[in-house]
Amino acid sequence: MSTLTARLRGRQDRNVWFWVFVGPFALGLLVFVYVPILWSVYLSFFDARNTVSPTHFVGFGNYLYLLRDPAFVSSMGTFALFAVFIVPVTYVCSLALALLVNRARVAQAFFRSAFFLPTACSYVIAALIWRLSLFSGARFGLANNVLRAFGLENVNWLGGANYGYWVVLVSLRLWLQVGFYMILFLAGLQRIPRDTYEAAAIDGAVGWRVLRHITLPQLRSTSAAVVLLLLIGAFQAFDEFYNTLITVGGYPPFARPPLVYLYLVSVGGGTQDLGLGSAGTIILTLVVAAVGLVQLRLFSLGGREERA
Amino acid sequence: MALPRRRFLSLSGGLTAAAALGLAACGSNTGRPDAGSSASSPAGGSAAAVSLTQWYHQYGEAGVEDAVKRYAAAYPAAKVKVTWQSGEYEKLVGAALLTDDVPDVFEYGNGPTLDMIKAGQVLDLTETLGDARSQFAPSVLAAMTWDDKVWAIPQTVDMQLLYYRKSLLEKAGVQPPQTFADLVTAARAVQTKDVGGFFAGNDGGVGVLGNQLIWAAGLEQINEEKTGIGFAQQAMYDGLTQFRDLSSNGLLASASKDWFDAAPFVNEETAMQWTGLWALPDVQQAFGEDFGVLPFPAIGASGRQAVPFGAFSSCVTAKGTNPDAAKAFVKWLWVDQEADQVDFSNSYGTHVPAKTALAPQATKLAEGAGAEAAKFLTDFGHAPSLLWTPGTQQAYTAALSNVVRKNADPQAQVATVARKAEAEIKRVNG
Amino acid sequence: MRTSPALAALRYLVLSLLAVLFLLPFYVLLRNGFSSDRLLARATWHWWPDDVSLTSLRELFANDDVRMARSLLNSAVVAVVQTVATVLISALAGYGLARIDSRTNRVVLGLTVLTLMVPAAVTFIPSFVIVSTLGWISSLRGLIIPVLFSAFATFLFRQFFLGFPRELEEAAMIDGAGYWRTFWRVVMPNTYGICAAVGTITFIGSWNAFLWPLLIGQDRDFRTVQVALSQFMNSQGVDLPQLFVGSAVAILPVLLVFLFLQRYLVQGVERSGID
């Protein structure tokens, strides 16, 4: 073996260098992700109020309390409802936008930027605009102005007497996210070879049929990624819920997704019940993992031949 | 600017939640017990050696901090150091009272909480008040009286009332409402697509109007025997139903600011608004004479008009460095120094001096709407009972919200509040 | 593929309408920031602002409850440090994982991928516990350090480096360079594209973050601008024009970064192999 090959094969101090490169990251991951998760699992079995080193062991007490707590269960229900709305709607809208933008020859970059730009806006600021100006329940909101122009009454969007707040939250999230997923779809669309379309055109396929039988199947892996990201994103929903609905008097009893519930329980509500919060986090993580796995399984059922 | 007292007046929970929880859990850790020793003034000779600390919360109006420091500096018998606390005042006080590092004198909303009194953290000031007791409005003193003893001396009085636009009501052909039924009719008559009828907060009035409903129905928060609530009666259930009617039609549920800001009324988003006396200057500036004020209208046949009030009042701590000197200082400032009291009430915003005789001296209350407001205070004023704990308040607000939003049965909801109140009273009584 | 001109025109019409709709909230932000309170509360919607001056801006910065200048500074420090540090840490780690094969390589890789599966926000309680034990609440350390370790960024870099042409590195190694020098002299100068992509994502994410800074920034001097705005909105002394002009100021850096660097983001997505 020549010295060149030996050197290329790898060095004796390979392990040292591995840690030089990967060390900081691995250390950080350990200290700020894995240790906290493990500590949190530990805490979840204790009655840990206002303390991080508790002494009162309660076993599965926290878990049982949560699973029986109507507030927690309803927060999971809120998430489920939210996900059922937001995932398909975002999927369809971003795909539709991608299809439209993809075929635009003139000013394609401008349109792409216009739809992608909201991604740069923070959830806080977007929530401000939505809550105070666009969907304000008072007479000066834009939505209410439009309603009154059609002769209808003002709607108190965020009051909780109706389900108007879902319109606000879903439209808010759509605005913020559709651009990003549109980009994903655009990338996927551009990967479809042109001759596929041309072959289909020769066969007489057109419009809707092209979409169903050619485009969508080719986009399967992109779709899988998009749906998975959307689901995980729906779980992480906090910023826009909190900022749209919080008032001087506190957070209302409706529209509490799991993270808001956990936040209020463990930090925001007066007593810091960290044991309960940790148990809730674990439950949430397990649910997310399960849903993610199921979804991946569903999607790969048909798409294994896609991957090279 | 932020005005923390508005928050406590709206009684939307959390006033002393933290303090109450902390103090209750702490148990009766008494400092020096005080068996009502007479409030003698400190010896004249070595008076300069006595130093006291006094705490105020951060008032929103400009100039208050300088004023209170001025008053304290003028006290001849001791050196008083004034601390202006920003941040969550109730939490700070609650925490400090648990330590040895307590201020000698501190102000608190409507006097000390029942937990503070029971834990012996504040001193009985009945003797300090002495004969001057009759000079204060009885309802104001009632808020800080427990066991027939007075536990704080009021500094100034804030109140809330109903503002209405005279011209809009005239145009709709309705009289200023004296009863709640009138209010509902008036609100519905006056409202248009663009202008609401009656506004009391972005939560539909549930937070701030709750206690008004009890008093306006002619009932009390706590019953005579002091064991539970005093409003488990038909008059109350009817009142709640009427309030639900108002909420469904006539009540403006959303505006540019919340109830404590005059903006919705001034911006003409609503024809009537429930807000505080502090808003009076803004309203006068906007509408001149085209507005009137009313107390909360009576509910039902046995009802009465009502206004809530809150008075930040001066308390003396038991564990302070020199309780007798502290008592003397409080007496000097808030009983004797009438010019300062008027200045405090009148020069920085609009408030009512705690001593009824001084009200005419407060120029803003001398005539017109201001004078009417001062009269409401004397005639119809109510303050929450000491036994009405934050826990009970939260239960009541939730019940009210259920009646309005979910069409729940008023009687059943009141029953849940009754249970909570009984439990709370048992807990507080030891 | 031929489409009729009518259809094409329709497409452009729809796209234009949608573009207006999407850009509308940004305009509303500006309009509100330069209007008076009265205009904002008026019954009819006015498209034009009525107070195009800097009064609200000046009042906002003078407002001691909000501490806008300090919050902006905090956000800037946190975002810049976080971006630079994350890119460095993840690039190094990604290269190590891609190129330096060792026993622990697969373990670390597995842990990294596992972290990808766990949504970041779900770990906020446990992270809060750790940080509060370390005493880092209300400090810049607490704001920055715990979020520097992005499994996503590391994974992106790893994928990228896997596809990096080996010839360049081999040439360097023939010349006697070790891992370290090869990385800095040869590999990094050719990865500016992906560094820009990761940097942009990190900067935007850091500037716009809310939950973590909310937990950590309990002292008003250690709030980021998002938390400051949120608390201002929810305070009793809120002034709407000030709030909106503050939001406009807060959104400006991110918009600029985005406008200039978005093509790297797009390229990064295309090359990322997410799909």
**What is the tens place of the pLDDT at every residue in B147-157?**
889 999 999 99
The pLDDT of residue C6 is: 86
Q: Which of A28, A125, A221 sits opposite C275 (nearest CB)?
A: A221
Three-state secondary-structure class, residue C275: coil
Q: By CB neighbour count within 10 A (0-12 exposed, 13-18 middle, 19+ buried), where does A203 fall?
A: exposed
CB contact (8 A) between residue C41 and residue B60: no
Distance of alpha carbon B279 from alpha carbon C223, whole angstroms? 32
Query: Are residues B303 and B216 in contact, defined by beta-carbon separation less than 8 angstroms?
Result: yes
Element (H, E) at B199: strand B196-199
Give B397 to chain C, closest Cα distance, Å: 20
The pLDDT of residue A303 is: 44
Q: Cα dist. A197→A88, A99, C9, C151, C270 in Å?
A: 26, 14, 22, 38, 21
Looking at per-residue confidence, does B313 or B92 come out higher? B313
* pLDDT band at C5; cut points 50, 70, 90: confident
User: What average pLDDT is seen over chain B?
Assistant: 83
CB contact (8 A) between residue B18 and residue A270: yes
The pLDDT of residue B16 is: 29
**Maximal CA-CA distance, chain B:** 72
Give CATH for domain A67-306.
1.10.3720.10
Q: What is the mean pLDDT of residues C25-48?
A: 91
Q: What is the mean pLDDT of residues B234-239?
A: 93
User: What average pLDDT is seen over chain C?
Assistant: 88
Q: Where are the domains of chain C?
A: 1-52, 63-272
Looking at the complex, does the CB of residue C40 fall below 8 Å from at least one CB of chain B?
Answer: yes
CB contact (8 A) between residue A225 and residue C275: yes
Q: What is the mean pLDDT of residues A146-156?
A: 89
Looking at per-residue confidence, does B206 or A7 come out higher? B206
Looking at the complex, does the CB of residue B172 fall below 8 Å from at least one CB of chain A?
Answer: no
Q: Would the pLDDT of C203 be above 50?
A: yes
In sequence order, the 6+-apart residues with CB closer than 8 A to the CB of A62 are: A44, A45, A46, A47, A275, A276, A278, A279
Torsion of CA B317, B321, B322, B328, to 10 degrees: -50
* pLDDT band at A3; cut points 50, 70, 90: low
The pLDDT of residue B48 is: 53
Looking at the complex, does the CB of residue B98 fall below 8 Å from at least one CB of chain C?
Answer: no
The pLDDT of residue A198 is: 79
CB contact (8 A) between residue B7 and residue C236: yes
Give C129 to chain A, closest Cα distance, Å: 7
| Lowest-confidence region among A87-96, C250-259, C263-272 | C263-272
Looking at the complex, does the CB of residue A46 fall below 8 Å from at least one CB of chain C?
Answer: no
**Which residues of A touch chain B, with CB atoms under 8 Å apart?**
136-140, 148, 153-154, 156, 158-161, 247-250, 253, 270-271
Looking at the complex, does the CB of residue B7 fall below 8 Å from at least one CB of chain C?
Answer: yes
What is the percent of chain C where pLDDT is above 70?
97
Q: Chain C window 47-86: which residues touch B at a Cβ cutoff of 8 Å?
A: 65
Q: Cα dist. A29→A25, C124, C149, C225 in Å?
A: 6, 14, 6, 27
Q: Which of A156, A249, A270 sits opposite B254 (nearest CB)?
A: A156
Query: Are residues C88 and C150 in contact, defined by beta-carbon separation less than 8 angstroms?
Result: no
CB contact (8 A) between residue A36 and residue C204: no
Select the residue from C40, C236, C242 to test the B interface by mutation, using most B Cβ atoms within 10 A. Answer: C236
Looking at the complex, does the CB of residue B89 fall below 8 Å from at least one CB of chain C?
Answer: no
CB contact (8 A) between residue A25 and residue C89: yes
In chain B the domains, ranked by start, together with CATH numbers, are 4-158+309-382 (3.40.190.10), 160-308+387-428 (3.40.190.10)
- Facing residues of B146 across strands? B149
Distance of alpha carbon C275 from alpha carbon C271, whole angstroms? 9
Q: Would the pLDDT of B17 be above 50?
A: no
Distance of alpha carbon C222 from alpha carbon C236, whole angstroms? 21
Q: Among candidates B39, A302, B418, A180, which has minimal Cα distance to C272?
A: A180
Three-state secondary-structure class, residue B352: strand
Give C122 to chain B, closest Cα distance, Å: 28
The pLDDT of residue B14 is: 32
Give C139 to chain B, closest Cα distance, Å: 19
- Facing residues of C234 across strands? none
Chain A residues touching C43 at Cβ < 8 A:
139-140
The size of the A-B interface in CB pairs under 8 A is 49
CA geometry: angle B196, B199, B202, nearest 5 deg:
110
CB contact (8 A) between residue C265 and residue A183: yes
Give C142 to chain A, closest Cα distance, Å: 11
Looking at per-residue confidence, does B22 or B111 come out higher? B111
Q: Would the pLDDT of C21 be above 90?
A: yes
Q: Would the pLDDT of B3 be above 70?
A: no
Tell me the helices (H) and strands (E) count for chain A, helix number first: 16, 0
Question: What would the pLDDT profile of A182-200 be if each residue is shown by its tens digit?
Answer: 999 998 888 888 888 778 7
Query: Are residues C174 and C215 in contact, defined by beta-carbon separation less than 8 angstroms?
Result: no
The pLDDT of residue C3 is: 66
Looking at the complex, does the CB of residue C240 fall below 8 Å from at least one CB of chain B?
Answer: yes
Query: Are residues B154 and B140 in contact, defined by beta-carbon separation less than 8 angstroms?
Result: yes
Q: How many residues does this entry show for chain B?
A: 430
CB contact (8 A) between residue B256 and residue C41: yes
The pLDDT of residue C273 is: 57
* pLDDT band at B6; cut points 50, 70, 90: very low
Query: Are residues B176 and B306 in contact, defined by beta-carbon separation less than 8 angstroms?
Result: no
Count of CB atoms situated within 10 Å of the CB of A41: 15
The pLDDT of residue B40 is: 35
Q: Chain A window 225-284: which residues touch C at a Cβ cutoff of 8 Å?
A: 225, 232, 235-236, 238-239, 242-243, 246-248, 259, 262-263, 266-267, 274, 277-278, 281, 284
Looking at the complex, does the CB of residue B254 fall below 8 Å from at least one CB of chain A?
Answer: yes
Q: What is the mean pLDDT of residues C264-273?
A: 74
Give CATH for domain C63-272.
1.10.3720.10
Q: Position of tokens 């248009």? A: B192
Q: Going by DSSP bridges, is the β-strand pair B381-382/B307-316 parallel, antiparallel, or unpaired?
A: parallel
CB contact (8 A) between residue C19 and residue A110: yes
CB contact (8 A) between residue B405 and residue A161: yes
Count of CB atoms situated within 10 Å of the CB of C163: 9
What is the percent of chain B where pLDDT is above 70?
88
Looking at the complex, does the CB of residue B18 fall below 8 Å from at least one CB of chain A?
Answer: yes
CB contact (8 A) between residue A29 and residue C129: no
Question: What would the pLDDT profile of B105-118 be if each residue is shown by its tens digit?
Answer: 999 988 888 888 88
Chain B residues touching A153 at Cβ < 8 A:
193
Query: Are residues B197 and B272 in contact, defined by beta-carbon separation less than 8 angstroms?
Result: yes
Distance of alpha carbon B95 from alpha carbon B25, whole angstroms? 12
Q: Cα dist. B327→A138, A220, B37, B43, B338 in Å?
A: 50, 80, 10, 14, 17
Looking at the complex, does the CB of residue C126 fall below 8 Å from at least one CB of chain B?
Answer: no
Give C211 to chain B, closest Cα distance, Å: 22
For the ranges A183-197, B58-72, B240-254, the one whose mean pLDDT is highest: B240-254
Q: Would the pLDDT of B41 be above 60?
A: no
The pLDDT of residue B9 is: 43
Q: Among candidates B232, B215, B227, which has minimal Cα distance to B383?
A: B215
pTM: 0.81
User: SS3 sequence, B23-91?
Assistant: HHHHCCCCCCCCCCCCCCCCCCCCHHHCEEEEEEECCCCCCHHHHHHHHHHCCCCCEEEEEEECCCHHH
Q: Would the pLDDT of B12 be above 70?
A: no
Q: Would the pLDDT of C92 be above 90?
A: yes
Query: Hey, CA dihedral for C131, C137, C141, C145, is it positive or negative?
Result: positive
Q: Would the pLDDT of B310 be above 80?
A: yes
Looking at the complex, does the CB of residue B203 fall below 8 Å from at least one CB of chain A?
Answer: yes
Looking at per-residue confidence, does A134 or C106 come out higher? A134
In the chain, the amino acid numbered A51 is T
Select the residue from A50, A131, A139, A145 to test the B interface by mutation, using most B Cβ atoms within 10 A. Answer: A139
| Closest alpha carbon within chain B to A160 | B405
| Lowest-confidence region among A37-46, B186-195, B318-327 | A37-46
In the chain, the amino acid numbered C69 is A
Q: How many residues does this entry show for chain C?
A: 275
Q: Would the pLDDT of C178 be above 90?
A: no
Chain A residues touching B405 at Cβ < 8 A:
160-161
Looking at per-residue confidence, does B239 or A273 come out higher? B239
Question: What would the pLDDT profile of C120-173 be if each residue is shown by its tens digit?
Answer: 777 788 888 788 888 888 889 899 999 999 998 998 899 888 888 888 888 888
Q: Would the pLDDT of C176 be above 90?
A: no
Per-position DSSP letters for B267-309, written without gaps between them: TTSEEEEEEEGGGHHHHHHHHTTS-EEEPBPB-STT---BEEE
Q: What is the mean pLDDT of residues A57-76?
A: 89
Q: Would the pLDDT of B11 be above 70?
A: no
Query: Are residues B163 and B276 in contact, defined by beta-carbon separation less than 8 angstroms?
Result: no
Question: What would the pLDDT profile of C68-81 be if each residue is shown by its tens digit?
Answer: 999 999 999 999 99
What is the DSSP code (8-state) at residue B160?
E
Chain A residues touching B256 at Cβ < 8 A:
136, 138, 140
Residue B409, sorted as left (phi over 0), alpha (psi -120 to 50) or beta, turns out to be beta
Q: Going by DSSP bridges, is the β-strand pair B79-85/B51-57 parallel, antiparallel, or unpaired?
A: parallel
